[in-house]
């Protein structure tokens, strides 16, 4: 799990470090722990093309 920086402004929440850590933490453990790059890419594509909205809800469920 990556630490998500805490920003008070709307502009701070547009930073790559904020969104990247949220999205990475929302990935299932099986995907995050995959060591084979090709298999990782396939798993990511499946998640992103399958249920993009549910993935976003999971990533930003604690959004203030």
Task: Answer for the pair 47, 27: CB distance below 8 angstroms, yes or no.
Answer: yes
Q: What is the pTM of this model?
A: 0.67
- pLDDT (tens digit, 9 = 90+) per residue, 5-59? 777 777 777 787 878 888 888 888 899 999 999 999 999 888 888 867 777 777 7
The confidence score (pLDDT) of residue 35 equals: 95
Task: Answer for the pair 4, 18: CB distance below 8 angstroms, yes or no.
Answer: yes
Print the SS3 string covering the chain: CCCCCCCCCCCHHHCHHHHHHHHHHHCCHHHHCCCCHHHHHHHHHHHHHHCHHHHHHHHCCCCC
The confidence score (pLDDT) of residue 62 equals: 60
Task: Name 9's Cβ contacts closer than 8 Å, sequence gap at least 6.
Answer: none
The confidence score (pLDDT) of residue 63 equals: 58
């Amino acid at each position: 799990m990556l630490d998500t920086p805490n920003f008070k402004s709307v502009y701070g929440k547009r930073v790559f470090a904020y969104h990247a850590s949220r999205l990475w933490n929302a990935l299932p453990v099986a995907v995050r722990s995959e060591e084979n790059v090709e298999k990782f890419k396939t798993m990511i594509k499946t998640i992103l093309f399958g249920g993009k909205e549910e993935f976003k809800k999971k990533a930003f469920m604690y959004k203030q």
